[in-house]
Amino acid sequence: MDSFLIQGGQRLAGSIAVSGSKNSALPILAVSLMTDAPCRFGNIPLLRDIQTQVKILNTLGIESVWKGRVITTRVADTYNSTAPYELVKQMRAGVCVLGPLLAKRGEAIVSLPGGCVIGERPIDLHLKGLEALGAEITLDHGNIHAKAPKGGLRGAEIYLGGKFGSSVLATDNVMCAAVLAKGTTVIECAACEPEVVDLAECLNAMGARIEGAGSPRITIHGVKKLKGADWDVIPDRIEAGTFILAGAITRSPITVAGCRPDHLLAFFDVLRQMGIRTERKANAVKVIPVDLWKGTEVVTLPHPAFPTDCQAQTMALMSLAQGASTLTERIYPERFMAAAELKRMGAKISVANGVALIQGVDKLSGAEVMASDLRASAALVIAGLAAQGETKISRVYHIDRGYERIEERLRKLGARIQRIAGSPEPAAAKTAEA
Ligand code: EPU
C-alpha cells in the first residue's frame, strides 16, 4: 500500500489543469451497451475507477481500446448480461450498467453493491424507477435480476425522490432505460447534477430525445435505436474544488485551469462567506490568497447546493479558520471519516448526528494519518500541505480511485509531496464508495 509523504508549509504557484469528470465518465461509458455501433469517449480521466468500469463493460461483451484520454468501444457479443460481484464490489458505480443493459438487451443481472464506507447506500430508487417502466425485478443470491416485459419497457410517470432527495445514479439508470422504452417517460425529482446533464447530452447526440436534464423534471421520448457515441466528458468539478481549496489553505495564488466554474456556484458562495476570494473566467479559477479566513455554516444537499463530495476537503480549510464552523451532511450523515484523522493533526472537530462542529485553530501539525475513503484522503492531502512539518498519509489507493497522479500534479505547483511505494492493497471489506 503506497503512502504520501508531505512536507507542509510550502506556498504553491502556477497553474493546474483539471481532468475529465470521473462521475460523468462512469455512466457515460455504460452507454456503449445501448447501441450496436462503435463509440468514442474523450477526456476520460486515467483512474482506478474507470479501469474497473472498463473491466465491467468487457465482461458484458464490450471490447475497448484505451489510448491516452480516449476510450473506443465496440460490441463483441450480447450474450453475457451479468455484472459480477467481484467487480461491482470494487466500485459501487458499477450499478450504472443496469439501466443500459435492461434497455438494450431486455435483461440485466447486476450484483447488489454491498455496504459502503460512507454510510448506507440503498438502491431502492433505481429499482422503483425501472419497475415503473415495466421491468420485473427480483433479488436473489446477492444479485439484482431485471427483466423487461414481453414487448419491452414502456414509458411512465415516475417520482424518483427519496428520503435524502434525488439520486444521481438512479436518475441515470432510469433515464437510460427510458431512452429505448416505448412512449414518453417523465422523471420527477430527478437529480440535477452536471453529470446527469452530460449523460443526457451524450445520449441526445446518439439520437435520444431527452428534455429537461439539469432540472428536477426530465422528459424522455422513447426511440427505437441509438447511433454510436462520440463524446468528450465534462471537467471534474470536485477535482477543481479540491485544487481551489489546496490553493486557499496554503495561501497561494494558483490557477485551476480547464474547469467549469459554473458547476460550482454553491461552493464559491461558501468560499466567499469564509472571506476567500477567487477570480473566475469561463474555464479557469484563480485563487486570491488571504492570510486569515473565517468559519461559516455549510449544509450539503443535492446539486445545485453544496456538494457532499467537497465536504471533507472544506473541513480541512475550516480547521484553520478564525472562529467556529459547522458542516451538516444531508446526503451521507455518516460521511465524516476525515474528522478523526484531521484531529490527529491538531484540528478541533466534534461530530454528532450528521453535523460536524469545527473550532478553528491557528495551525495544524504534520502527523501520521490514514486515508479511509476517496474524499477524506483528499482532505488529508490538503491539510498536509498546510500543516507544519511532515505528514504521512497511508492507504492512498483510495485517492488514486478519483484523482489522477495527484502528487505529481501538486509537485508541479511547488508542493513537497512524494509517493512511497508499499505492499499490495488489502482486499476491500466493503464496496468502495464512489
Ligand atoms: N439513495 C436512496 N436510494 C437510492 C439511491 C440513493 O435513498 O436508491 C440516497 C443515498 O443513500 C444518498 C442519496 O440518496 O443519501 C444520494 O445518493 P446518490 O444515489 O445520489 O449517490 P450515487 O448516485 O450513488 C453519486 C456519486 C457520488 C456522490 C453522490 C452524491 C457517482 C459515480 N457517484 O453517487 O460520488 O457522492 O452521487 O452527489 O456519480 C465520490 O465521487 O466520492 C462519490 C461518492
pLDDT tens digits for 300-350? Answer: 999 999 999 999 999 999 999 999 999 999 999 999 999 999 999 999 999
pTM over 0.85: yes
Using CB atoms within 10 Å of the CB of residue 140, give its burial: 0 to 12 exposed, 13 to 18 middle, 19+ buried: exposed
Pocket test for ligand 1, best of 88, 95, 169 (most atoms within 8 A of CB): 169
Report d(CA 172, CA 21) in Å as an integer: 15
Q: Phi and psi at residue 131, in whole multiples of 5°?
A: -65, -40
- Over the stretch 86-122, which tens digit does the pLDDT of each residue have? 898 888 899 999 999 999 999 999 998 765 677 777 8
Q: Which ligand 1 atom is nearest residue 373's CA?
A: 42
Please report, rounded to a whole number, the percentage of residues in the chain having pLDDT higher than 70. Answer: 97
Report d(CA 47, CA 96) in Å as an integer: 17
Cell numbers for 10 = 510550502
Report d(CA 113, CA 119) in Å as an integer: 12
- Over the stretch 46-86, which tens digit does the pLDDT of each residue have? 999 999 999 999 999 999 999 999 999 999 998 899 998 88
Pocket test for ligand 1, best of 22, 23, 88, 267 (most atoms within 8 A of CB): 23
Q: Which ligand 1 atom is nearest residue 332's CA?
A: 15
Distance 279 CA to ligand 1 centre (A): 30
Mean pLDDT, range 10-38, rounded to an integer: 98
Distance 112 CA to ligand 1 centre (A): 15
Mean pLDDT, range 379-403, rounded to an integer: 96
Report d(CA 310, CA 17) in Å as an integer: 18
Please report, rounded to a whole number, the percentage of residues in the chain having pLDDT higher than 90. Answer: 89
Instruction: Assess whether pLDDT exceeds 70 at residue 433.
Output: no
Report d(CA 43, CA 202) in Å as an integer: 13
Of 231, 273, 234, 281, residue with least CA distance to 257: 281
Confirm whether 116 is a catalytic residue. yes
Asked if 309 and 240 count as a contact pair (C-beta separation under 8 A), the reply is no
**At 218, which amino acid appears?**
I
111, containing H or E segment = strand 107-111
Report d(CA 342, CA 144) in Å as an integer: 38
Asked if 324 and 295 count as a contact pair (C-beta separation under 8 A), the reply is yes
Per-residue pLDDT, 1: 86
Using CB atoms within 10 Å of the CB of residue 79, give its burial: 0 to 12 exposed, 13 to 18 middle, 19+ buried: exposed
Report d(CA 405, CA 54) in Å as an integer: 19
293, containing H or E segment = none
Per-residue pLDDT, 422: 86
Q: Which residues line ligand 1 (CB under 6 A)?
A: 23, 26, 93, 120-126, 162-164, 167-170, 191, 195, 308-309, 331-332, 374-375, 402, 433-434
Mean pLDDT, range 232-251, rounded to an integer: 98
Q: Which ligand 1 atom is nearest residue 374's CA?
A: 42
Q: Which residue has the least CA distance to atom 18 on ligand 1?
A: 167
Cell numbers for 123 = 438502491
Per-residue pLDDT, 90: 85
Q: Which residue has the least CA distance to atom 4 on ligand 1?
A: 123
Using CB atoms within 10 Å of the CB of residue 282, give its burial: 0 to 12 exposed, 13 to 18 middle, 19+ buried: exposed
Q: How many residues does the chain have?
A: 434
Q: Dmax over Cα atoms in the chain, in whole Å?
A: 66
| 304 prior amide bond cis, ω within 30 | yes
DSSP letter (8 states) at residue 144: E
Name the pLDDT band for 207 (thresholds 50, 70, 90): very high
DSSP letter string, 227-285? ---EEEPPB-HHHHHHHHHHHHHTT---EEES--GGG-HHHHHHHHHHT-EEEE-SSEE
Catalytic residue among 96, 116, 202, 310: 116
Compute the CA torsion angle 367, 372, 378, 383 (nearest 10 deg). -20
Pocket test for ligand 1, best of 164, 198, 332 (most atoms within 8 A of CB): 164
Q: Any residues with CB less than 8 A from the CB of 89 and at least 6 apart, and which?
A: 111, 113, 114, 428, 431, 432
Q: How many CB atoms lie within 10 A of CB 294?
A: 16
Using CB atoms within 10 Å of the CB of residue 373, give its burial: 0 to 12 exposed, 13 to 18 middle, 19+ buried: buried
Cell numbers for 380 = 488529508
Report d(CA 260, CA 195) in Å as an integer: 12
Using CB atoms within 10 Å of the CB of residue 212, give its burial: 0 to 12 exposed, 13 to 18 middle, 19+ buried: middle
Per-residue pLDDT, 122: 87
- Over the stretch 137-180, which tens digit does the pLDDT of each residue have? 999 988 999 999 999 999 999 999 999 999 999 999 999 999 99
Asked if 237 and 373 count as a contact pair (C-beta separation under 8 A), the reply is no
Report d(CA 64, CA 58) in Å as an integer: 7
Instruction: Assess whether pLDDT exceeds 70 at residue 189.
Output: yes
Distance 168 CA to ligand 1 centre (A): 6
Cell numbers for 252 = 497561494
Q: Strand order of the sheet with strand 184-188?
A: 157-159, 184-188, 217-221, 209-211
Q: Which residue has the least CA distance to atom 11 on ligand 1?
A: 121
Cell numbers for 106 = 431486455
